[in-house]
Structure 1
Amino acid sequence: MLPRAILAYSAGVLLLVALPHWPSALWALALLAAAALLEALVWPRWPALRGLALPFALGLGYALWRGDALLAQRWPLARHGEELVVSGRVASLPELSREAPQRLRAKDAGERVWRFSFAPEDPALPARIRVSWYRTDQWLRGGECWRFSLRLKTPLGSANPHGFDYEGWLFRQGIAATATVRSAERCEVAGGYWVLRARQALLDRLQAWLPESPARALTAALVLGYDGELRAADWDAFRLTGTSHLVAISGFNLAIVAGFAWWLLRWSWSLVPALCLRLPAQKAASLGAALVAAGYALLAGFEPPVLRALLMLWVLLAALFLDRLAASWRVLLIAWGLVLLHDPFAVLSPGLWLSFGAVAAIFWLSLGRPPGEPVWKQALRLQLLLSLALAPMTLFFFQGTAWIAPFVNLLAVPVFALLTPLLVLVLLLCAVWPWTGLPLLTVLAWALNAVHASLVALAQSHAESWIAASPPPAALALALLGALLLTSPRGLPLKALGLLCLLPLLFPPQNAPKSGYDLAVLDVGQGLAVVVRTAGHSLLFDAGPAYEEGFDAGESVVAPYLLGEGLRRLDLLIVSHSDLDHRGGVPAVRRLLKPRREIGALSVEPCRAGEHWQWDGVDFELLHGPRPGESASDNDAGCVLRVSANGHATLLPADIERGTEAALVRAVPERLRAEVLLAPHHGSKTSSTPDFVHAVEPRLVIFPAGFRNPYRHPRPEVLRRYAEQGAELRMSGHEGALRLHVDPETGAGPVQAWREAGARGWWAPPLREFDSAPR
C-alpha cells in the first residue's frame, strides 16, 4: 500500500503545480473531505482504487498550504520600489560580481557588486530577500549583521513560452522579495549563524591558501557548494562537455563522498575482529557514511539540492543497514516520498528529476546483466546507456544535449570521484594542520587546473557538439519509453521498437501559420526581441539585452522560445542598432540557432532603405537604415521594418526618435500606415510624435518596456497620444510575451498575453493599467 500511497500523493502535488491558478484553502478542505468519504464508502467496491484518494488529496492540500504560506510573504506590487531601513543578517555566502575579478577584489575597489540572501529581523518583512549591492567598497561576509536602506521590489521576472522561469526559481528558494542597497552600516550582533560563519571562515582561508584560479573556484564549488567564483565561460565548458552535474554539489558528489567513507570505514572496521562481533563491518560503514554525508551537506550549507540528495542517500543507506536493498525500487520510491514531504515544490527543480532519474536508470540497467563482467566493461556500458536513458530529461530541462558528454564522462566521472573526497579531506586537514595539508592542497590544485584546462579545450574544439532542440513533451515521453526499451535486459520483447520511439525527436512539429504571419514580442525586460514567422520562414528582429556574467535574454528567453516553437535554424536575423538592449542576446542566438543570413548593426550588410522581399505571400520592406556617416549606435540610425499580408501591416521602428520619424513621414507616409505598431524607443518622450502617430494610425500599440523601468517608459504623454488615436495599448513588461496572428483576410487577431495564457500559481498576475509613478 505504501508505494501506491506515495504515487497518489505525488500525483496530487504535480496536479497543483500544473494548475494555472490555485484554489482556495476551502477547496482543499472540501477535497480532503470528499477523499475521506470515497475511501470509506465508495472504494471498497473497487479494491484496486483503495488507498489512493486520501493520499492524492493530502498531496494537493499540503502543497497548496505550503505554497500559500510562501506567497503570503511576497512583497506586494502596490509597494514595489518602496525604500525601508532594514536590519538583519547576510544569510548566504555573498557572491562578488565576476565581471572583472582582479579589479573588483582590489583593496581600494569602489565598484564591487555583491549579490546575497538577506534575513531581516522584522517579522513583518519577507523571511528571505535577494539583495544586490552595486558600486561599493565594502567587503561582505556570510552571517554578518547590517542595517541597510533597501529599495524593495516584488519578485518579478520575464514571462515567456519555453523560457527560464525566474519567478519560479525565486519561489523555490523561498525568496519573497528582491532589493537593491541604497545605503548601509554595520551592526554588531553576537552569536547565531554558526554554520554559515564557519563556511565563510573556511572560504576565506581557501582564498588565502590558493591564488585566484580555476582550481580555487572548483574547490569552493565542490567542497562548500559556493560557485561565486565560477564564470559564465566555465559553465559553458561544463555544459558543452556534459559535466555540470559533477561540479554543482548534488547526488553524485554526496554519493561519492559517502561511498568513499563507506569503503574506508568497512575496511578499517574489518581489521578489528572484536568490533565486527559487536556490529558487522557493513552496517558500521553504513552508519559512518550517513554521518559523513551529513557533515558534507553541512559544509555545503544544506542548500535544497544538497538536502534532497542527503535524504535520498540516507534512505538508501538505511535500506543497506537493514538488509532491504534488494527491494531497490521500493527504497527509491520511499526516498522520493520523503523528499516531497519535506518540500513538495522540489518537483519544480530539474535536479530532483535528474538525480532520481539517474538512480532509477542505474537500477534498471543492472537488471538481468551477466555476472562476472569486468569492471571497466561495466563502467563503459553503464555510462553510455545512462546517457541514453537521461537524454530525454536533458532535452526537456535544458533545450539540448551534448553528444560528446557520454565519452567525456567516461574519464571525468572517475577523476571527480577521486578528487572530490580528497579535496574534502585535504581542506579539513588544512584547517587543522596547515603545514601538512597545504602541500597536498597545492598538488590537488594543480590537478584541478589540468582538469579544467582539458574540459575547456574539449569544449572549444567541439563547440558544435551541443545539439540545440526542445521537442514537445509528448515526443520526449515517447523517447523516454524508447530509451527504456533500448536499455532493457536481454530477452525483453519489442526491444527494437525503441528506435521507432526516438524518431519523433528528429522531426519536431512546426508551429508555423498556414497563411499570413505570426508576431511574438518577447518579454526581455527593458529591451527588444520580436519574432516574425510565416508558413516556411522565420525572422528575429533584435535579440534583447545581455549583461556580462548576468542575465542574457538570448540564452534565457529568445533561443528557448525559438527552439520550443520547433525551429532549429533562423532564416534572418536583423539587429536594428548596436545598443546593448537590442544586440546583447545575439551571440547566444548565433550559437544555438545559426541564422542563415544577418543584416543590420552587427553585420557587414547594413539595413538599406527600400530593400524588400516576400516569404510565403507576406511582404517585408526596410523603410530606413543608417545614412552615410551615422553611427550604428545612434537611435535614429536604426532599422525600420514593415511586414504586411494583403495590406494588413505591422511596423517595427526599433528606437528611432523624432528626427527619423519626421523624415519617414515626409518620404514614405503611405508606407507607415499599419494595424500593429511596436512603439518607437519603448514609448520614450523623444519618439511617437503626433505627426508620426497620425501617419501610422495603429489599432494596436505594443510597448516593449520593462515593468517599472528606470526610464519611466512609456511616458504618460505618449500613452495619451495613442489613446486619443483609439489604439489598444499593451506592454510586454506587464503581461509577458505578447503574441498574435495577422491573417491576410481579417487582419490582426486577438493578442495572447503569456502571463495570462501560461499562468503559474506562483506568478504575479498580469497588469492592465500603465503606471507612470517614479521608479
Structure 2
Amino acid sequence: MQIHILAFVLGVVLLQQQASLPAISWAWALLPGAASAFLLCRSHEPVFTTAGKVLFAAIFLSAGFFWAAAFAQWRLSDALPQEWEGRDIQLVGVVAELPQVNERSLRFVFDVEQAFTDGAIVPKRISLAWYGDRGTDTKTEPLQVNLPHVNAGERWRLTVRLKRPHGSINPHGFDFEEWALEHNIRATGYVRESDENVRLNDRVNRPSYQIERLRQKIRERFTQALPDHAYAGVLAALAVGDQRAIPAEQWQIFTRTGINHLMSISGLHVTMVSGLMFALVYWAWRRNGRLTLWLPARKAAAVAGLLAALGYALLAGFAVPAQRTVYMLAVVATALWWRRFTSATMILTWALLAVTLFDPWAVLSPGFWLSFGAIATIMLVSVGRIGRMHWITEWARIQWAITLGLIPALLAMFQQVSLVSPIANAIAVPLVSLVVVPLTLLATLPLLDFMLLPAHAILSGCMDLMQWMSDLPHAVWNQHAPPMWAVAAGLGGIIWMLLPGSLGFVRGFPARWLGMVALLPMFLSLPPKPGPGDLWLSVLDVGQGLAVVARTENHTLLYDAGPGSGSESDSGNRIIVPFLRGEGVKHLDAMVVTHADTDHSGGALSVLQAVPVKWLVSSLSNDHPIQLAASKKQRCQAGETWQWDGVQFDMLHPSEQSYSNSRLKTNALSCVLKISTVHGSVLLPSDIEKQSEYQLLAQAGHTLSSTVLVAPHHGSKTSSTDEFIHRVNPRLVIFTVGYRNRFGHPKDAVVERYQALGSRLLRSDADGAILLRFADDNVAVETSRALRRRYWHDVLELTNNSYH
C-alpha cells in the first residue's frame, strides 16, 4: 500500500509541474485500468501478477495527477474577470484571518459574502490592504500613519479596487502567484477611502473565525505584556504561528544557525504538546475505576493527545509541518484505538497521503520537503537499528543525520546550508521546545501572562548564543543552485551513508563512504557562464522599477537595484540577491545606481549588505545612505570607459556640468550605460527624459545605435522621442513596468513609436525576467514566464501584450 500512496503523491507532484491543466474527462480511463489491474493481480501467473501491481501503481499515479487537476480546476474557476480589475466595487464580507500590520497599511484576508456593485463578479476569498491616513507632519515628531482598527471575524462593508494575483517571475525567485493559489487568494487589492466603509458586525460566529479571533487576542495580550521586548514577536510566533511578527534581522540569525524551524510551529512542538496531554490524561484516567471500565485509559489518552495536537495546530494557522504532525498522530491514535501495530514508515506514508489529499499544492512548499525529509531521515537512522547507545550519542547522531540529510533540499531551494546547525540545534532545541514553548503556551491562558517574562529571558539568553554563532565568518555555506540530477545523486549518496554499518557479528552495508562521492556533483557541477567576448544580460522582473545584471566571462555588474517596499523587504533581498546566489555570483565587480529615485535604488543597501561590491558608480549625493555604505565609490560621468573580458562599457551621461545645475531633477542625472560586444550591444538609459535624450543626441549621437534598448523611463510619455529611438534603432525594446502600474506605463503612444520602427517589444510584467545572451554573432532571448510556465500563470495574460 505504501508504494501506491507514494505513486499517488508523485502524480500530485507531476501535475504541479504542468504548463496547462489536462481535461478531467481523461480521468474516466482510470476505471477500466483499475479493473484490468485487479484481474491481473488475481492471476496465478507471476508475470501477470507483477504486471497487475505495476498497473495498479500507474493507476494511483494517475489518480493523484487528476485529483490535483480537479482541485486546480475548481480553484481557478473562482477568478476575478479582467474587466473588473481596477474598478470600484462595494463588498460585504468577513475578515477571515489574523490581520497583519506593517509600516503603512493593514493587510487581511477577506471572505466575500456579497457584491453590491451591479454586475460585479468577485472571488470568494481575496487579500486587501487598507492604507492609513498620515498624521500632521511636525518638525519635532516623525510622520505618523493612523491605521484603521480591524479584527478577525468582523463583518465589514468596504469599497475596494482589485486585480488578479500577479507577482514577479525571476530565476531562483519566489512565485507569488503560486503562493496565492495555494492559499486560495484569488484577487488582491486595497480599500478605497469612502464614508461607506463601515463595520456591520463585531462577531461572526463561525468556528474558523472564532479561532482567528482568539489568535488575534493572544497576540495583542503578548504585545501588551512584553512592550519593547526584543523577542516578543518570536513568542507570538510560537503561540499563534504569526511568523510575520518576527523582524527580518532575527530571521537572518535563525536561518544562518539553522534553527528557523524552531521559531515557528514545528512538528516537534505539536508532538510535545500532544505527548504531554497523552501522559496527563493517561495518568489521571487510570486512577478512576469507573472511567477505566467505560473506556480504557490508553484510548482516552490517545484521543486527548490527538485533540490537543489538533487544537494547537489550528491555533497556529495549520501550516504544513503542523498538518503533517497531526495526521501522523491521527494514524498513531487510530492504531492505539484498534490495537493494531503500525510501522513508523506506514505512519509517515499515511500522513503524506493526508497532506496531499487535502492540500495538493503543499508539494510546492519548501516546508513540505524539509518537514517530511527531516522525519524520514530520523526514521532512517533510528528505526529498526540493532544495539543501544547513550541518549546523548543518539541525540548527536540524529542531529548530524538531519543536517546531512537536508543538504540536497536546502541547496536546491535556498542555495545555502548552515554549517553551525548541529551545534545550534543541540543548544536551542532543548531550551526552546522543553522550556520556552511550554511557558509560552501557558501564557496563552488568562491570568498567566507573567509566564512570558521567564520565557523571554530564557529565549534572550539562547539568542545571544545564536547571534554569536551567526556572526562566525563561515557559519553558512553559500553556493549556486545545483542541477536536479546532482541533487538526486546527492540524496542517494546521503541515504547510502546513513544506512546501518557493521555491529559485532552483524554485517552492515559496505563502503558507505562512497556516498560522499555522490555528494560531489552538487558542489562541483558549476553553472554555465559567458565565454570570452560574450555578454549575458538579465533584465530582472522587479515590478515598477529597474534591475539589470550584466555578466562577462569573469565579471558581473548590477545596473540599478529595483524598488524598495518597506524597511524589511525590497527588491535587493527578495529578487536580486537570490538571483545572484542561484547563478553562482559570489561578488559584484561594480554596481551602478543611476539616480536616487527609490524604484531604482530601493534594493541597493540590501545588496551591499549581502554581496561584496568592489565598486559603486552613481549620481547620488555624498551623504546618501547608499554612498555611505559603499567602501569604494565613484561618480558616474560621460566619458568613463572600461573593458571586461573583451566587452566594452561606456558611460554616456550625465556630463560633468550636469552636477552643478541644481535645477535638474534626479531623472536628468541618470547614469546612461552602453555595453558593446562583437555580437551586439545594449543601451541602458535608466530614467532620462526628453531633454537628456536631446543632450545625448548632440554629444554622443554616433554611439547610440544599439541592438537592444531598455526603454527610457519605463515607456513614459516624457521620453522615447522620435529622434532618439530612430538614432538608437533597436531590434529589441524592453519595458520594465509593474503590472497595472498607477502611471500607465508604457504609454500607448510610445509603444506605437517603437512598433512603427519595427522593433520587437517585451515587457517585464507580461514576460517576467528577460534573459539575453550576446554570443555567436546573435542575441538569444528567453523570458522567465515562458521558461517557468505553470498552469496558474495562464489566467494572467495581458490584453496589451499582443505586440510581442
When the two structures are superposed, what TM-score results if normalisation uses the length of structure 2? 0.87
| Offset at residue 52 of structure 1 (A) | 1.6
Residue type of the alignment partner of 1:361 = T
Q: 1:475-624 alignment to 2 at 5 Å?
A: 475-490=486-501, 491-514=508-531, 516-549=534-567, 551-600=569-618, 601=620, 602=627, 603=630, 604-624=633-653
Given the alignment, which residue of 380, 391, 395 partners 1:364? 380
1:5 and 2:10 correspond? no
Residue type of the alignment partner of 2:164 = T
Q: Distance in 2 between matches of 1:411 and 1:589?
A: 31
1:159 and 2:169 correspond? yes
Q: Distance in 2 between matches of 1:506 and 1:398?
A: 14
| Offset at residue 454 of structure 1 (A) | 4.2
1:64 and 2:50 correspond? no
The answer to whether the 8 A contact 1:224-1:299 is kept is yes
1:377 and 2:393 correspond? yes
1:288 and 2:304 correspond? yes
User: 1:116: which partner in 2?
Assistant: 108
| Offset at residue 281 of structure 1 (A) | 5.7
> Residues 428, 725 of structure 1: CA spacing in aligned structure 2 closer, same or farther, 3 A cutoff?
closer
Given the alignment, which residue of 159, 163, 179 partners 1:169? 179
SS of residue in 1 equivalent to 2:355: helix
1:755 and 2:753 correspond? no
The answer to whether the 8 A contact 1:28-1:60 is kept is no
Q: 1:464-475 alignment to 2 at 5 Å?
A: 465=476, 467-475=478-486
Residue type of the alignment partner of 1:622 = M
SS of residue in 1 equivalent to 2:192: strand
Residue type of the alignment partner of 1:667 = Q
Given the alignment, which residue of 693, 696, 707 partners 2:725? 693
Residue type of the alignment partner of 1:143 = G
Residue type of the alignment partner of 2:489 = L
Q: Distance in 1 between matches of 2:465 and 2:240?
A: 23
User: 2:351: which partner in 1?
Assistant: 335
SS of residue in 2 equivalent to 1:733: helix
Given the alignment, which residue of 745, 763, 766 partners 1:731? 763
The answer to whether the 8 A contact 1:383-1:409 is kept is yes
User: 2:459: which partner in 1?
Assistant: 448
SS of residue in 2 equivalent to 1:356: helix
Q: 1:269-418 alignment to 2 at 5 Å?
A: 283-303=299-319, 305-319=321-335, 327-367=343-383, 369=385, 371-418=387-434
Residue type of the alignment partner of 2:24 = A
> Residues 464, 542 of structure 1: CA spacing in aligned structure 2 closer, same or farther, 3 A cutoff?
farther
Q: Distance in 2 between matches of 1:765 and 1:535?
A: 39
The answer to whether the 8 A contact 1:4-1:51 is kept is no
| Offset at residue 211 of structure 1 (A) | 1.9
Number of residue equivalences? 750
Q: Deviations over 1:674-710 (max 9, x none)?
A: 0110001111122212221121111111011111111
| Offset at residue 315 of structure 1 (A) | 2.0
SS of residue in 2 equivalent to 1:713: coil
| Offset at residue 18 of structure 1 (A) | 1.1
The answer to whether the 8 A contact 1:521-1:531 is kept is yes
Q: Which 10-residue stretch deviates more, 650-659 or 484-493?
A: 484-493
| Offset at residue 489 of structure 1 (A) | 1.6
Residue type of the alignment partner of 1:389 = G
| Offset at residue 535 of structure 1 (A) | 3.4
Q: Deviations over 1:620-654 (max 9, x none)?
A: 22222463436898122122111122262111111
Q: Distance in 1 between matches of 2:585 and 2:35?
A: 50
> Residues 567, 474 of structure 1: CA spacing in aligned structure 2 closer, same or farther, 3 A cutoff?
farther
| Offset at residue 523 of structure 1 (A) | 0.8
Q: Distance in 2 between matches of 1:579 and 1:181?
A: 27
The answer to whether the 8 A contact 1:219-1:423 is kept is no
| Offset at residue 513 of structure 1 (A) | 3.4
Q: 1:457-468 alignment to 2 at 5 Å?
A: 457-460=468-471, 465=476, 467-468=478-479
Q: 1:573-722 alignment to 2 at 5 Å?
A: 573-600=591-618, 601=620, 602=627, 603=630, 604-625=633-654, 627=656, 628-629=659-660, 634-646=666-678, 648-722=680-754
User: 1:108: which partner in 2?
Assistant: none
SS of residue in 2 equivalent to 1:244: coil
> Residues 282, 420 of structure 1: CA spacing in aligned structure 2 closer, same or farther, 3 A cutoff?
farther
Runs (5+) with no aligned partner, structure 1? 100-111
> Residues 305, 179 of structure 1: CA spacing in aligned structure 2 closer, same or farther, 3 A cutoff?
farther
Given the alignment, which residue of 402, 419, 430 partners 2:435? 419
Q: Distance in 1 between matches of 2:339 and 2:173?
A: 45
Q: Which 10-residue stretch deviates more, 367-376 or 175-184?
A: 367-376
SS of residue in 1 equivalent to 2:16: helix
> Residues 348, 756 of structure 1: CA spacing in aligned structure 2 closer, same or farther, 3 A cutoff?
same
Q: Distance in 2 between matches of 1:420 and 1:626?
A: 60
| Offset at residue 190 of structure 1 (A) | 5.1
User: 1:104: which partner in 2?
Assistant: none
Q: Which 10-residue stretch deviates more, 115-124 or 304-313?
A: 304-313
| Offset at residue 78 of structure 1 (A) | 3.3
SS of residue in 1 equivalent to 2:132: strand
Q: Deviations over 1:264-316 (max 9, x none)?
A: 44455566788778877655543321121122123224455533432233224
User: 2:124: which partner in 1?
Assistant: 127
Given the alignment, which residue of 72, 75, 82 partners 1:77? 82
Q: Deviations over 1:693-732 (max 9, x none)?
A: 1211111110111111111111222212222222111111
Q: 1:28-39 alignment to 2 at 5 Å?
A: 28-29=27-28, 31-33=29-31, 35-36=33-34, 39=37
Q: Distance in 2 between matches of 1:640 and 1:316?
A: 65
User: 1:143: which partner in 2?
Assistant: 153
Runs (5+) with no aligned partner, structure 2? 116-120, 134-145, 502-507, 621-626
Q: Distance in 1 between matches of 2:594 and 2:131?
A: 30
Residue type of the alignment partner of 1:6 = I
Residue type of the alignment partner of 1:481 = G
Q: Which 10-residue stretch deviates more, 349-358 or 477-486?
A: 477-486
Q: Distance in 2 between matches of 1:353 and 1:647?
A: 43
Residue type of the alignment partner of 1:629 = S
| Offset at residue 179 of structure 1 (A) | 1.2
| Offset at residue 399 of structure 1 (A) | 2.6
Q: Distance in 1 between matches of 2:692 and 2:203?
A: 62
